[in-house]
Amino acid sequence: MAEIKYGLVEGMGRGREHRCATGQSFYRRGGKFVYLSDGYVTLCASDAGIVQGWLETPKDTAGQSYYETDDTIKEKLFVIYADDDNVFEIPNGGASTCTATDVGKSALIRDASGVQGALTCNTAASSCLNIVDVNTTNNTFLVKVIAANRQTI
């Protein structure tokens, strides 16, 4: 079985390079939604209220299932903006499998042991993602970042 590549699935994918905070771990089997903090790209945690975009990471760190940024050098990495036309595929971060009834629901970013996923929620106030489609075979969501939760630069 082939491994799923999470990330941009629809849209132009415009973005730019940003300096990344040191010591960040971006797992291959998870999402890579990020925000800017003090001018540096940082992985969104479970309580994320804003999203700047999706980080495109280089190959995994040798012998690992994730890419880790340097502990001292703030390297530049490409971030795809969370524009209106961009749709991203991200794993389901919940215990149950995704279904067609999830389309149109709000979701929040959930970080479970460093692996970022989307978790459906009932209150739009606690979410920053909107589910636009599901992939029931691979248990993934296709999401857009809610306009009010986009970090603009």
pLDDT at 72: 84
pLDDT band for position 2 (50/70/90)? Answer: low
For residue 3, tell me if it sits in a domain.
Answer: no
Reference 107, options 85, 131, 91; nearest CA is 131
For residue 152, tell me if it sits in a domain.
Answer: no
Q: For residue 49, give its domain range.
A: 9-147
* Stated pTM of the model: 0.91
pLDDT at 124 over 70: no
Total of domains in the chain: 1
Task: Supply φ then ψ for residue 130, to 5 degrees.
Answer: -125, 130
pLDDT at 1 over 70: no
pLDDT at 19: 95
For residue 87, tell me if it sits in a domain.
Answer: yes
